[in-house]
Structure formats: structure tokens, C-alpha cells
Amino acid sequence: MRYLIVPFIIYILAKTEGVLSQDEISKERSPEFWRKNAQDDLLIKLSKTLNLNKAKNIILFLGDGMSNPTITAARIFKGQNEGFNGERDSLSFEKFPTVGLSKTYCVDSQVADSACSATAYLTGVKSNYQTIGVSAEVKLNDCLASKVEKNQVDSIAVWAQNNGLSTGIVTTTTVTNASPAGTYSHTPNRGFESDVYIRALNQSLEDCEDIAKQLIFRDPGKSFNVILGGGRKNFLPNSTTNGNRLDNLDLIKHWEDSKLNWKRSKIMSKKARTKYVTDRESLLNVDFRRTDYLLGLFNRGHLDYHLDSKSRQPTLKEMTEAAIKVLQKNNKGYFLFVEGGLIDKAHHVNMAYKALDETLEFSKAVQKAVDLTQENDTLIVVTADHAHVMSMAGYSDRGNPITGIAGQVSNIDKLPYMTLSYANGPSAGQHSNRGLRDDLRNVDNIGEKDFQYPSLVPLQYESHGGDDVTVFARGPWAHLFSGVIEQNNIPHFMAFAGCLGNGLTMCSNDYK
């Protein structure tokens, strides 16, 4: 019965800490309060002028699975954790001047996965479900078709490197996972992160090169200045404690050895300075001024959830700061891809509390990038690859804990229900018996980080949602990202602002 006590304490604390103070209630009852708020926001918008500068730097932040309900719930979660009125709080990127919506479907699927969506928002071409860096001519597992050059599509990372920019990827998942792989890989199956997975499907290693190997041996991956995330197992032979590779390759050693003879730049004869790190302390102690290439693999697989990491691994904010400090030494600028990948992983197991916490970590990373850059020359775009099926429902009073029970009981079975719940997932049936819902007031772990929120349809893993996702933009040509756009427009718009690629850019004679 512990649940009956904890939420009551939280609710009282929320009231005493100002979430719903009497002063706040009094202000909100006045029409003038809302009129003044609206006029203040109007003046802020009117003071903004279009930024038509060239984007020297471009940072794309990707909240994997960061649906609109996730953003709303995380905003409230943040405010309530800080003792404020959560509904009127904001995540860092919600303050960006431009907001739009992105259509996320694949060529062959109404609901996207992270592979086809990564191909869209990084290469500018829509593709098939579970394929990366290839056109829709390539079907799932068609290795031969993926080798055909005309079927391979390059990402904005390639366009940036062709213009002399530095490049990097940062993620809380494996660096070979679908989203970061979209910057450098061409594969008919997102699961081919290591050769062991290609062999498991009896595919030819000559026809299909695994994603980790592409990152280390092929451009643009081998030329990335920064690679930070998880997935150490995909780079080491299975003869080692942490490895799973069957080809006996040590890709980490190859990365280190390959940089020994690299020059720092085309005009400098000095050798490139490299650093490989495996834990948070080592990353924080890197001398970024004297590091040209930085590789950090902080776990065998995905990084731990922020709530479980116990400071062994760097935060997304810390990795973002490290990446920018390495990349910003290039006077020509840089392109950086940053993914908060564990939002998605938490949703897939119906753990909304962890998904919201990971969203807050993502917001902190965006704010760090804002703090380290200038709006006049750095375009920052924040978006998601796809939605999830978490919903926010009920008619709770203001200040009701967002991770708790909704404010009303069902008028059918007279039992309470959660504010947050899922359309499907592994928790289906967990909170019911023979079709009758359990009384959640008797559940003792609600509000804890590992609580699995109720879902309707039983699935091994909760599915993605097909709804549009939000795009937030700040910096040069940010206004291009307004309205409802196709997801594959995103890299084309970024390239226009930074004068990259072969399409129309602000530097093109055709545009001028």
C-alpha cells in the first residue's frame, strides 16, 4: 500500500514548493495575466529578424522516438521535479524561434523505423523500412542491390567533408545503431552492425559489409573527427572479453593505427593527434585543444539509462560538449549529429518514467550546444525520427504528478488509470486479470523508474507511432523548417543554409 502514501506526499510537496501556489492560482484567474503573457510573447516574436547568414556550423539533434506527447510530458516532468508549474515550463529547444512538423513514413511503410527515417533526415532520400543509406530500389536484406552504386545515397556528413568541414557523431546507443549509421553506412539491414549478424542470416560477407567495418574503413566514417557512444562489442573480435566479431578484426586498433600517418590538415605537415577513451573520467580529462580525432566507446552495447549509469559513463551533455570542443577548431566549420537514443529504448519497454528522464538529458545536451555556439553562424535543428504510442490522458488537476495516476476513475469499472499509458507493449495484461483491470491504488511501484506503464495490445516490444514529429530550429535560415514538411527535406534545408552538397544553396548563383 506504499503507493497510497508516496503520491500524497509528492502532491503536498508540489503545492508547498510552488507548483500550484496560491499566488500562482490568483494570477492565472485574472484575464490580464494571460493577455500580458501573450503580448510579451508577441513582442519577442516581433523583435526577431530573419537570419540569412551562411551557417558555418550545423548541429542536428535527434531525439529517437521523441513524440509530441513525450515532449509535453517531459516538460511537465521537468517542472514538477524542480518544484515549479510543469505545464508552463519548457524544454531548452522549445524556446527555438522556428517550429514545424515532419512526416515520417517510409517508402514501403506507414510507420517508420529508425533506419528508413535516418536515411530521410540525413541523406535527403526516403527509403524502405529497416534499410540505411540506400534508395527504395533496395529491399530488406538485398545485399547485392545495396552494393550497386546508384542505389547508394550519401549523407550530409559527406557533403560537409567535401567542403572541408569537420564531422562527428554522438549517441547514447551503439555508434552502429540505425540513427548514427545513417550518417555513414549503406546497408540493406540495420541489424548488420557486426559481421556476426550478417553470418546469422547466412548472407555473404562479400556482398554485405557490416556497419562497424564501414565506419572504420570507409568514408565518411573513417574521416569523422568525433565518434562517441556505445557498441564496443561490434569493434572487437569474439576472442576478447567484450567482442563479438568472427572475422578476428580489432577495429579499434585499426582506427588508432590508421591515424598515425594522417596529417592534421592538407596544409599542415604535423601528424593528427588522436585519443581513444572508454569511460567518463577519461573523456572529461581529454585535452580537446590537442585532439584532432576522438573515439569514445563507453559500453559493450548501448549506454546505460541516465538513471542507471552511476557516473560510470558520460552524459549526453558531456559528450556533446566534448564533440563541439574538438570540432570547433576547424575554421571552416563542422557538422555534428547528436542522438538521444534511449528515449526510444525506454518507450519500447513501456517505461515512461525513464523515457521522460532521457528526454530531459537530451534537452540539457541541446542547451549545452546553445551555450557553446553563436546563433548568427550555427544552425541547430532538433527533431525526432518517429513517434511512439504513449498517450497522455485523463482530466487531472494541475500539479498532479505526470508519472502518477490520473485525477479521475473510469466511469465504467470505477477504477483509476494512469495519466501516461501505451497503445501496446510488453506490459499489456500486467495490470489486469481475466480482462478486469487491477486497482492501481494497490500497486506499490508506481512512480519508480522501472515501473512499466499500462498498455492495451500485448507485444514483445511497444511499437512506433506514425504521427508527425516536431522540428525545432535556431540559427541561419531556421525559418525554412516551419510548416509541415517531408522528413527528407531536412538535410536539403540544412545544406542550403551551409552551402553544402549539389543542390540549391544560399551561395548558388541560381539563388542569388
Q: At what angle do helices 68-81 and 352-372 cross, to 10 degrees?
A: 80
- Residue 347: closest CA among 73, 92, 100: 73
Task: Please report how many Cα atoms fall inside a 13 Å half-sphere around the Cα of residue 324, on the Cβ side.
Answer: 24
Report the C-alpha gap between 187 and 181 in whole angstroms: 9
Q: Which amino acid is at 148?
A: V
Residues 6+ positions from 247 with CB-CB distance below 8 Å: 195, 205, 237
Backbone region of residue 271 per phi and psi (left: phi > 0; alpha: psi in -120 to 50; beta: other values): beta
Give the cell for residue 290: 590537442
Pairing of strands 98-103, 469-474: antiparallel
- Residue 487: closest CA among 58, 55, 122, 99: 122
Given 114, 155, 179, 463, which residue is catalytic?
A: 114
Q: How many angstroms separate the most distant Cα atoms in the chain?
A: 76
Residues 6+ positions from 471 with CB-CB distance below 8 Å: 99, 100, 101, 102, 381, 382, 383, 481, 485, 490
Give the cell for residue 168: 562527428
Point out which residues pair with 383 in neighbouring strands: 62
Residues 6+ positions from 277 with CB-CB distance below 8 Å: 283, 286, 294, 295, 296, 298
If DSSP codes are grouped into helix, strand and coil, which group holds residue 499?
coil
Q: Please answer whether residues 358 and 305 qualify as being in contact, where contact means their C-beta atoms are separated by less than 8 angstroms.
A: yes
Q: What angle do CA 252, 257, 263 make, to 5 degrees?
A: 125
Q: Which residue has cell 478486469?
A: 436
Residue 97 neighbours by CB distance under 10 Å: 17
Residue 44 neighbours by CB distance under 10 Å: 11
Give the cell for residue 387: 513517434
Q: Please answer whether residues 322 and 282 qualify as being in contact, where contact means their C-beta atoms are separated by less than 8 angstroms.
A: no
Q: Which residue has cell 535556431?
A: 474
Q: Is 146 a catalytic residue?
A: no
Q: At what angle do helices 489-498 and 114-123 cross, to 10 degrees?
A: 30
Q: Please answer whether residues 202 and 187 qualify as being in contact, where contact means their C-beta atoms are separated by less than 8 angstroms.
A: no
- Residue 55: closest CA among 500, 368, 504, 489: 500
Report the C-alpha gap between 336 and 216 in whole angstroms: 18
Instruction: Just list the catalytic residues.
Output: 114
